[in-house]
Amino acid sequence: MQSNLEPILNNLSKAQAGLLSAADSISGEQWETSPSNGSWSAAELIAHLIMVERAIIASADRIVQKQPKAVPLLRRFHLPMALVEARLIKRKSPIPVDGQLIGEKEEMLAELRAIRERSLAFITETKNRDLSSYRWRHPFLGSLNTYEWLQMIASHEVRHTKQMKEIAANLPNCVASLQK
């Protein structure tokens, strides 16, 4: 196994555990309730995470089937992952949430876990290959290699765990026990 995979696997595990814990603070009855006008509900947030992770793994699957393209050093620049996790700058997603993904809380969380299993299967399938030469652009961060994209999944989930806690804290009649 590539030595750079262990930290990614650990980060993916910790990020999902944190997100699921935060999601536990929102009842099934309030799952699709937006805490304020223009804000995502917990269901919309999870749908977004499903869409993003699914898209990243589909792109990675497709890209690693070909020869890697040479990317000049200056085009490999990207913003740090810490910027994703910090959530200091709130961004609007470039892709709208697919309303067909919205459903019951437990069903959506099961789908999120299934997508993660697919991500982990991709990592297992490619663990004996060096995927650092395979790159594609992130809409905000810049050019990321495959390992950075896998880390981005975890960082993105950490970012949205903070948002899930905000949703829980701002829902009417909701006691949020996960505020920090």
The pLDDT score that the predictor gives to residue 17 is: 98
pLDDT per residue over 38-89, tens digit each? 889 999 999 999 999 999 999 999 999 888 777 656 666 666 667 677 776 6
The pLDDT score that the predictor gives to residue 23 is: 97
Domain count, the chain: 1
Q: Answer whether residue 179 shows pLDDT above 80.
A: no
The pLDDT score that the predictor gives to residue 137 is: 84
Q: Is residue 175 part of a domain?
A: no
Q: Is residue 176 part of a domain?
A: no
Q: Is residue 179 part of a domain?
A: no
**DSSP codes, the chain:** --TTHHHHHHHHHHHHHHHHHHHHTS-GGGTT--SSTTPPPHHHHHHHHHHHHHHHHHHHHHHTTSPPPP--GGGG-B--HHHHHH--S----SS---GGG---HHHHHHHHHHHHHHHHHHHHHTTTS--TT-EEEETTTEEEEHHHHHHHHHHHHHHHHHHHHHHHHHSTT---S---
Q: Is residue 90 part of a domain?
A: yes
Q: Is residue 177 part of a domain?
A: no
Q: Is residue 21 part of a domain?
A: yes
Q: CATH code at 55?
A: 1.20.120.450
pLDDT per residue over 122-177, tens digit each? 999 999 999 989 998 888 888 899 999 999 999 999 999 999 999 999 998 644 44
Residue 123 lies in domain = 5-170
Q: Is residue 180 part of a domain?
A: no
Q: Answer whether residue 4 shows pLDDT above 50.
A: yes
pLDDT bucket at 95, cuts 50 / 70 / 90: confident
